[in-house]
Structures are given as C-alpha cells and as structure tokens.
Amino acid sequence: MSATREKWACDFCTYENYPSAVKCTMCRASRALIEQGGSEVIYELGQSAASSETCSGKSSPLAGGGAEATATNQAELSDQLAALQLADDTLREQQQQQKWICLRCTYQNWPRTLNCTMCLQRRVGVPAGPGGGSPEAAGGPGAADNRLVAARRESPSHDNNADAERRRRQARQADWPWLDACLGVVQGDSRPVEAYLANGGDPTRQLTATEVNLLNRPSAFDVGHTLVHLAIRFQKEDLLATLLSQIEGGGMGIKRVPSYVAPDLAADIRRHVASIVRQRKGANFPCFYVAEVATFALPAEVEDLPQAVQEQLYEELLDRDAQSQLESDPPALNWSLEITMRLGSRLVALWNRSAGDCLLDSAMQASWGVFDRDNTLRRALAESLRHSGHIFYPRWREYEAVQASLMHFSLDEAQWEEDWAALLSLAAQPGASLEQLHVFVLAHVLRRPIVVYGVKLVKSFRGEALGLARFEGVYLPLLWDSTFCHRSPLALGYTRGHFSALVPLEPYTDPARGATPDDDLQVTFLPLQSHDRKLLPVHFLTQAEVGMEEALLRQWLDVCVSEGGLLVAQQRLDKRPLLVAQMIEEWLNHYRRLAQTASAPFSRAVAVQDYSSDGDSDDE
C-alpha cells in the first residue's frame, strides 16, 4: 500500500497527514481527540498562525515521526480560521437549541446536565445513581457541587458563582407542592391543586419574587398572584370553583359530578350529542335541533348509601349556594310541601362551571348529565340565529318593545339593529354570557319547553339590589309546530348571573308492586306558578298571544292541577340512554366503595381520590 493511501485526513482542515503524525501538521488538531470542540482548536490554530507570521513564510519543522510539512501562506490560514470560527458558532447554536426543560420547575438546562440546575430534579430518561455515567449523576456528598460545576462550565454567561449558589439554595428550600399547584392551575391539571389543598394548603397564598424566579415563566406568573388569580387569568373555571368554595369555607370544595368520575364516557356522550344535531332544511325556518331527547335525574340508588356517604355525595355534587338562594325568601324553588313531599318532586341544583357557558352547560346537564365542553349547543344556538334570524327577530323586537314601554322608554330602528347584532355576536363567542333571547332559541334547539326558576332581584356580593332579574318563567318553542316538539320540559335555576341544572331524585321503582315505566312514579311535577300563586311569565309572546298564557302552556306541556289547586307540568323520566346509565353506574361505584371501606372493621379514613377534569385535559 502506498504512503499516500495510508495518510489520515484532519476533520478540521482536511489536510492529509502521515500515519505516524499524532497531531495535524497543518492546524495542530489532535488525531485522537478531534471531537474535543472547536474553541481549543481555534486557539491552537491561532498559535500556529502566529508562528507562521514569525517565520515570514519559511518552512518550519513539526513533530510527527520526522515528517516535514510545507509552510502555509497567510491567506490559507486566515480562511481556515474563519471556517473553524463558523463551525464553533454553529456548534454553540445547536447546543443552545438542544436545551432540555425540567418538568418540575420548567427551567431550561444545558444538554449535558443530568439534573436540573434550578431544582435538582432528575432529567427524564436518565437513570438515577452512579450508573448515569457522570459524576453529577451520583448521589454522593459532592453531587450538588458537581452539578453546580457543570452548570458553571456550560452556561458561563448566565450564572456566576454567587447566582448559582443562591438558586441552588432557593430550589432546595422551595415549597414545591405549592409551586406544583401553581403550575397545575396554568396547565389545567387539578391533581396537584387538590393535593395541595388536601394537605392544608392556603388557597389565598401569594407568589413571592423568589418563587416567580424559580418557576421561570414570567409570562405566566407574577409576584402577588394566588391560585385564584391564575385560575381566572387562564380561564380554568373548574379549578376556580374549587378554590372559591375552599376560600368561602365550604369544606374541601372538591366536586365530583358524574362526568368528572367517568371522563371517557362523558366525552362519548358529548360526541353522541354532537352527532344528533340536525338542521331543518327545505323550510322557511332552517333552525338547528337535537334529534334525541333525554332527561337527567339522580339515581334512586343514592338513598341506599349510608347517611354519611350520602352527605359527602351531595356535598360534591350539588351547588349549595344556588340551592339556598333559590329557596330563600321569597322562595322560587321547592316552596310547596304538596309537590316536594306528597308528590316527591323536590328539585336540587347541580354544581355547574362558573363560566359564561353556564346556560348551555346547565341545559346539557339537565338533559344528558355532562357539560357542553365542546360548545355543541352554543354552535347550534349561534347557527340557528344566523340562519333563522329573519324569523326570530320580529318576535324578539315585538316582545322587547312591550317590555320597554312598561318601563316608559323606546328605541329607534338603529338601536334595535345594534342590540340584535350584539345578541348574535354573544351567541357565537364561547364563554360569553347569554340573554333571554338565547334561552328562547335554546328551547327551539332542544325542541322542548324550558322552565326557569330564578331570583327576582340581582344582588351584589354585599346584598344590595342591582336590578330586576328577568329570566324566571317559561320558554316555549313557539316557532316550531307543537307536534314536532317534546312536551316534557327541562328545569333550570338562575341566581345572580349564573344558571344551574335543576334535577329530581329518580323515584324508586319496586318490581314487587309491578311498577312499569308508564306509571306515575316515573313523572316529576314542576310548578307553573310562583309561591304567591301567580302564573309564571311566558316569554316572547306576541300581542295576539298575550292573555292566552295558560292555554299555551296546556298546548305545549302536559299540564295538570294538583289537589291543592296548583298548576303543574309533568316531566317524564324515561329510561336513561346507555352511555348515561354507564356513567351514572361508574359514579355510584365510587361512593359504594367508600361505603364498603367505611363499614369495614378497623377501617382507616378514606384518602381523597383525584379525578381529572373531563378531558381538561379541558375537559370536563
């Protein structure tokens, strides 16, 4: 083999060296350690270039087994220096892009660090202990110092000795359950938040400058922020409700509606509802509607649970504050002992998200037992207004004109159009609060009457009256043919800008009595009169329909009169859809396990289980 073929090429300057050369004759790069980095080679090449200048272009003897290299002119050395400098800059840029983010504190670490420089959290995918292949991977006394040395070596422009030592001390002293709860709110993960609260954490605690520095996300965290601030800022309504209930002293404030316990089934239910939304085409009224009807009720098996477990279930399911407001004087709900006791038709308010979607959420809960997470009802509502606005607008304007005249004011045409445009815009914006018109349109989307029991006055947090609440009453799908709609209504509650689903406890059916689904046991009675025996208002009637309220109620609802003379509507509780029945069963099983554990001998307190929000994964 010839000598030329036995030469080795330098990776830096491509010069072909003799086999016995330990370093490159041209740029002095080490043959065995060619991968040590560009900065050192640039330095040595610079030294070589200086030597060349000193020699004034004459050849100089170099080591390498007696081999001699010719002198390189100054221009060639300059080109090689520039190329190596570019390679070094590229290498540094690649290292910068390859930083890994700590999953605990989100600090961006340099690639060669195995533990987070900020909180010492182990890098994901790197085995713990000495087997990590690096001194800083070991857990010995010098592990932290090794990590600090590595951080200093890799990021000299970011940390000096004092800063690194201070950050390391702060990371060790930080209250990471509290910081994890802050991160959980931002990421929509309820588990660290509930763990923090379950261990006695203070929901009103504020972030300090040191903690904001450790979290290293200035776009998300500010000094003085609490968990409530973060939940509001990042629109985490479920976590916000939990935190507010904790602050107000309502116990742990953990809510376990069925859709939280069985999030996969809840997602299937929402997909099913989305698949049964239709549009009435080929007609003058192209409104969207839901093809199937369901009515949600609490299962009768709840009463089979021990009293203590029942109380926990109701605490985690119901909105006690809304229930109290609706039943307080003057009562809007459960004011008749004849209906609640003798007829067994007491309604309870389900806990609902506190977002602007509460009307749609409550309607979905009252029918299918889940929240309208996917905005299915909102889209159907907005599209119905867009496609059928020419039908809704005249009735809305006539009704609102009558209401305005009662308060002795009127609007011109431009103002009517401006108000209508605002209502259309609100319908299309997820999270935007909705008005009376939207309840009326929703009754058409659901193809069934909606009965709203609400407070008479909207009050401030200090109890001061702010104005009249106009939501209470009956909303009939008057623009449909009555034969196209269902006569079984939904019941919703309204309290200070918030809607809640009102549902009954399912009557207990005893097979020994031969009860069938057609028996009266499967019917709930909803009063159509207020506590002072006045008929509930029927909204969006035309001038020709005013005075015919009771006749219209009998036309659109199954109406009867109780022995006490109360006008009531019958709400049928048909057999649950399969997916809803499965979700209810899984939810009940959680409390059945609690009952079994509580009744077991030598039982210990049951630990609080964490459930993610229905896909919050956003989702429920």
Q: Which of 229, 498, 539, 590 is catalytic?
A: 498
Give, in degrees to the nearest 5, the angle at Cα 222 between 220 and 227.
Answer: 75
454 beta partners: 494
- Could you tell me if 106 and 57 are in contact, meaning their C-beta atoms sit under 8 angstroms apart? no
Q: Which of 341, 347, 349 is nearest to 562 (CA)?
A: 341
- Give the separation between CA 522 and CA 505, rounded to whole angstroms: 11
Q: Which of 102, 116, 182, 358 is catalytic?
A: 358
- Give the separation between CA 240 and CA 316, rounded to whole angstroms: 15
Q: Please confirm, yes or no, whether 438 is among the known catalytic residues.
A: no
- Give the separation between CA 438 and CA 440, rounded to whole angstroms: 5
- 568 φ, ψ (degrees, to nearest 5): -130, 155
- Could you tell me if 365 and 583 are in contact, meaning their C-beta atoms sit under 8 angstroms apart? no
User: 330: cis peptide before it, omega within 30°?
Assistant: yes
Identify the helix (H) or strand (E) that includes residue 368.
Answer: helix 358-368
Q: Please confirm, yes or no, whether 182 is among the known catalytic residues.
A: no
Q: At what angle do helices 358-368 and 376-406 cross, to 10 degrees?
A: 120
Label residue 559 exposed, middle or buried (CB < 10 Å: 0-12, 13-18, 19+).
middle
- Could you tell me if 523 and 571 are in contact, meaning their C-beta atoms sit under 8 angstroms apart? yes
Amino acid making up residue 408:
H
Q: At what angle do helices 263-275 and 358-368 cross, to 10 degrees?
A: 100
CA dihedral 323, 329, 331, 334 (to 10 degrees): 60
- Give the separation between CA 99 and CA 97, rounded to whole angstroms: 6
Question: Which single residue is written with the structure tokens 């409530």?
Answer: 228
Amino acid making up residue 352:
N
Catalytic residues: 358, 498
